[in-house]
Amino acid sequence: MNDSDSESQNCTYEASPIDPISVYIYLVAIPLVCVIGSAAAVLCIIVFTRKQMRSSLNVYLAGLSVFDFNVLLFSFLIYMPLQGCVLQGNTNTRICQFFWNSTPYTLPISNIAQCGSVWTCVAVTVDRFLAVNYPLHSKIWCTPRKALTILTIITICSILYKAPGFFELSNNSCGQLHVTALRANELYIKYYVIYGYIIVIVLIPWTTMIILNIFVVNAVHKAYKIRRSMQSGKNNQEEKDRRCTLMAIAMVSTFLIFNAPAAVNNLSEFFSVNLGYWGPIGNLLVCVNSASNIVIYSLFGARFRHMCVLMLCGRNSKWMDWLKVGRSMVSDWDARDGTTRKTSLDASTALLSARSSRRWSKRSQSGATQMATRKDTVIYTSSQNRLSLQNAPP
């Protein structure tokens, strides 16, 4: 008998209890949510990185979509093999070997993505707070380049903060997972794992988002009451800012609601409190939150809907007519750098332009020969809210 056979005989495999709710969540619900949500996150990344969607807020949303994609991808690679290994009795099978060998790397990357998504939501909240309370200064402060710089800083800080997670788990001689000496250190558990999670992941970002959202909601409510009391027409720029702000509020509120059970589960694990079914449910809600952001973007963004339908169905699709995007080719999210601006000319301005064009054409004909000439006429197209230059017969 060789040494490998003796080592395999010395390995003990302890079977974990099988919970039907956990089996359904980890083998059915989470894989389904992760697959659909990953495709939606990729679509959001493609849309938000287009030049037509260039703005500070869209840069943050593109970064948030990247973090969401990583959360969903690595959740799929963690929870499904975990439950499959449990069903096989934690024995030395291919599924268990994959789970044991991949988890020391997939779990820290998932934690990095979750940390980045938390602070990206904080950046979105700050961006909307500045846009609502300091609209003039926000055009200087909230630029796509600065947003990209902030997003890069968030990514680097998240990697550095969660980097010790790569040294918490390893494989023993039997290939099974076991905690390292770093994870078993009481000071490390107390100050980094528990206090770090409470302060960096929960207390500071959640408090910031809640307080700033309260100010933003009050400002939007007051602005809405003022607009209703005024008899003048609705300002397009104000309407875009309002929709953009409501979208950010809905996104952050959804994040807080769906991530609250997971935060409670993590804190209960630190203090050795068993919450039963709330563990799998909290993990499922985290995945649902990462997969559901596209719904919020679609509800509040006409330009986002237009870009998605154009990419998925083509320009001649019947959905394009249903969305009526021909009248609004401008994003509901304001392009701060000026690359996307709405051209709004009323009919009287177009009529004056047409008359001026005809007078200029008559004066030019007086000194011309008898050769047939053609004149340019500016025609106002109300359906597309733009001026078009067409050739009219002489």
State how far the Cα of 36 lies from the Cα of 352, in Å rounded to an integer: 53
Map tokens 């302890």 to a residue.
Answer: 14
pLDDT, tens digit (0-9, with 9 covering 90-100), for 232-277: 555 566 666 677 778 888 888 899 999 999 888 888 877 777 777 8
pLDDT of residue 287: 95
DSSP labels, 45-86: HHHHTSGGG-SHHHHHHHHHHHHHHHHHHHHHHHHHHHHHHH
**pLDDT value of residue 321:** 54
pLDDT of residue 303: 81
The range of the structural domain enclosing residue 190 comes to 12-313
Q: Are residues 165 and 237 in the same domain?
A: yes
Residue 112: its pLDDT value, please? 97
Across 7-24, average pLDDT: 75
State yes or no: pLDDT of 325 exceeds 70.
no
Q: What is the DSSP letter of 15?
A: P
Tell me the average pLDDT across 140-147.
Answer: 92
Instruction: Tell me which of 294, 313, 332 is where a domain ends.
Output: 313
User: Domain for residue 82, yes or no?
Assistant: yes
Q: What is the mean pLDDT of residues 91-117?
A: 93
Same-domain check for residues 261 and 356: no
Judge whether 213 lies within some domain.
yes
Which carries the bigger pLDDT value, residue 120 or residue 93? Answer: 120
Residues 100 and 189 in one domain: yes
Q: What is the pLDDT of residues 352-365, one digit of tens each?
A: 344 444 444 444 45
Neighbouring-strand partners of residue 380: 387
d(CA 361, CA 348): 20
* Higher local confidence (pLDDT), 3 or 273: 273
Q: Are residues 218 and 362 in the same domain?
A: no
The answer on 105 and 32 residing in a single domain is yes
Indicate which CATH number applies to the domain containing 109. Answer: 1.20.1070.10
Element holding 319 (H helix, E strand): helix 318-323
**pTM exceeding the 0.85 threshold for the entire prediction:** no
Evaluate whether residue 342 is within a structural domain.
no
- % of the chain exceeding 90 in pLDDT: 44
Last residue of a domain, one of 313, 328, 360: 313
Question: CA-CA distance, 70 to 77, in Å (whole number)?
Answer: 10
User: How many C-beta atoms surround the C-beta of residue 149 within 10 A?
Assistant: 12
Q: Do the domain assignments include residue 99?
A: yes
The last residue of one of the domains, among 262, 289, 313, is 313
pLDDT 10s digits, 274-284: 777 888 999 99
Is 155 in a helix, a strand, or coil? Answer: helix
Q: Tell me the CA distances in angstroms from 114 to 75, 160, 196, 214, 259, one per residue in order.
A: 11, 13, 14, 24, 10
Same domain, 271 and 374: no
Q: Is residue 318 part of a domain?
A: no
Tell me whether residue 337 is in a domain: no
Pair 135, 235: CB distance under 8 Å: no
Specify the pLDDT at position 108. 96
Per residue in 179-205, pLDDT tens?
A: 999 999 999 999 999 999 999 999 999
State residue 239's pLDDT score: 66
